[in-house]
């Protein structure tokens, strides 16, 4: 020990207060290779376990980043007009939450009224279900709708109090998740330049300029998709309300809000149109058939007129790839996966065309 201390004192100098670096380990030695392989397996296993345990939180973080990228073009536009970033973020957040709160406040009275009317009409619907001469009765007789609903309610296996508690827990959990995503979205939107710079710092310096170009294009695709998707969903909801209002289909506001929400997801207007057509059966069969034709036409207009003009060329994904991406996203992450499937597919398509294909062509 004394000899080691004397040697350490001799190694100290002003330029190297802790001594010069020793020789590098022989990375080809069996001991080093075995330790590196064991450490790699251990780290990979630990990372997989951590990611699996943190999957619900990571889904919320990913959703918040998705919405932050969707609002980033508006903030960036204000920053280009000499508005401080904190003021731009505040203005965009206030406008978005203000529009959302205003829409909810405006929709609550008619929604409550239509919900009350629906509850009052339930006995009539049940009576018509027993009458085989009506449309509802014919459908009930053929598909046994009422019996299936009754069996589902009786086989739930939980008392009413337990069901209400679980329903309250579900609603509270959903609201808490929405609040977490909203807060994280604001934080990500405020720190987007720092997040962007940190992400590009992880890329080697020689490849950093090209990574910036590709990464900014991916972010632009996500932002354009979010903006265009929200706008087309609002148009779908407004068209549904107008159609139901002029044809006297009941619950026009409720159906308009439902179609606007479900149209946020790929091919949501098709599902929404099916539901509206079922409600239109309470008016007449011709009105229901006309509703189906209306939604077929609206789907074509949305695919070939609205989406190309609103979203433009930013997100151009083939139809087959879109369906495949939506199915995979829904299977992996549920509703969030279906929502982000198309921009993720567009980003993967860009990376493949810019990175993989050139490498394969040069091989």
- Asked if residues 349 and 315 have their Cβ atoms less than 8 Å apart, the reply is no
3-state secondary structure string across 298-329: HHHHHHHHHHHHHCCCCCCCCHHHHHHHHHHH
Torsion sign across C-alpha atoms 340, 346, 350, 352: positive
Q: pLDDT digit string (tens) for 280-326?
A: 887 888 888 888 899 888 888 877 777 766 665 556 666 667 777 77
Looking at the domain assignment, is residue 61 inside a domain?
yes
Written as six digits, the tokens of 289 are 């058939």
Looking at the domain assignment, is residue 39 inside a domain?
no
Q: pLDDT digit string (tens) for 99-150?
A: 777 767 766 776 677 667 666 666 666 665 565 555 555 555 665 555 565 5
CA angle in degrees (0–180, nearest 5) for 323-324-325: 90
**Residue 270 CB-density burial (10 A; 0-12 exposed, 13-18 middle, 19+ buried):** middle
Q: pLDDT digit string (tens) for 216-236?
A: 888 887 877 887 888 888 888
Residue 93: CB atoms within 10 A of its CB come to: 17
Looking at the domain assignment, is residue 164 inside a domain?
yes
Quick check: pTM over 0.95? no
Domain encompassing residue 77: 55-202
| pLDDT given for residue 160 in this prediction | 47
Looking at the domain assignment, is residue 350 inside a domain?
no
Looking at the domain assignment, is residue 362 inside a domain?
no
Q: How far apart are CA 218 and CA 326, in angstroms?
A: 18
Q: How far apart are CA 215 and CA 27, in angstroms?
A: 35
Looking at the domain assignment, is residue 198 inside a domain?
yes
What SS3 class is residue 171?
helix
Written as six digits, the tokens of 217 are 């294009």
Residue 162 has pLDDT above 80, yes or no: no
Looking at the domain assignment, is residue 112 inside a domain?
yes
Question: Count of domains in the chain?
Answer: 1
Looking at the domain assignment, is residue 60 inside a domain?
yes
């Amino acid at each position: 020990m004394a000899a080691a201390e004397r040697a350490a004192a001799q190694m100290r100098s002003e330029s190297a207060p802790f001594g010069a670096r020793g020789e590098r380990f022989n990375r080809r030695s069996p001991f080093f290779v075995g330790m590196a392989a064991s450490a790699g397996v251990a780290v990979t296993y630990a990372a997989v376990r951590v990611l699996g345990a943190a999957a619900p939180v990571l889904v919320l973080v990913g959703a918040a980043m998705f919405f932050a990228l969707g609002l980033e073009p508006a903030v960036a536009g204000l920053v280009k007009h000499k508005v401080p970033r904190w003021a731009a973020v505040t203005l965009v957040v206030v406008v978005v939450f203000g529009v959302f709160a205003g829409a909810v406040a405006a929709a609550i009275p008619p929604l409550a009224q239509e919900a009350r009317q629906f509850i009052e009409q339930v006995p009539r619907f049940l009576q018509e279900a027993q009458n085989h001469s009506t449309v509802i009765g014919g459908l009930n007789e053929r598909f046994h709708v009422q019996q299936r609903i009754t069996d589902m309610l009786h086989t739930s296996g939980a008392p009413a109090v337990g069901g209400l508690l679980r329903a309250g827990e579900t609603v509270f959990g959903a609201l808490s998740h929405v609040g977490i995503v909203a807060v994280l979205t604001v934080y990500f939107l405020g720190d987007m330049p720092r997040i962007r710079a940190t992400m590009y710092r992880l890329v080697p310096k020689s490849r950093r300029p090209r990574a910036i170009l590709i990464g900014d294009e991916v972010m632009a695709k996500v932002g354009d998709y979010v903006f265009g998707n929200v706008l087309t969903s609002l148009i779908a909801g407004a068209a549904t309300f107008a159609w139901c209002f002029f044809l006297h289909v009941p619950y026009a506001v409720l159906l308009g809000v439902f179609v606007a929400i479900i149209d946020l997801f790929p091919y949501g207007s098709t599902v929404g149109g099916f539901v509206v057509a079922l409600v239109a059966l309470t008016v007449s069969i011709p009105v229901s058939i006309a509703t189906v034709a209306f939604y077929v036409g609206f789907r074509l207009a949305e695919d070939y007129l609205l989406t190309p003009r609103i979203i433009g060329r930013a997100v151009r994904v083939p139809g087959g790839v879109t369906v495949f991406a939506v199915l995979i996203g829904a299977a992996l992450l549920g509703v969030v996966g279906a929502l982000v499937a198309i921009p993720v597919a567009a980003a993967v398509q860009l990376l493949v065309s810019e990175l993989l294909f050139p490498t394969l062509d040069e091989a």
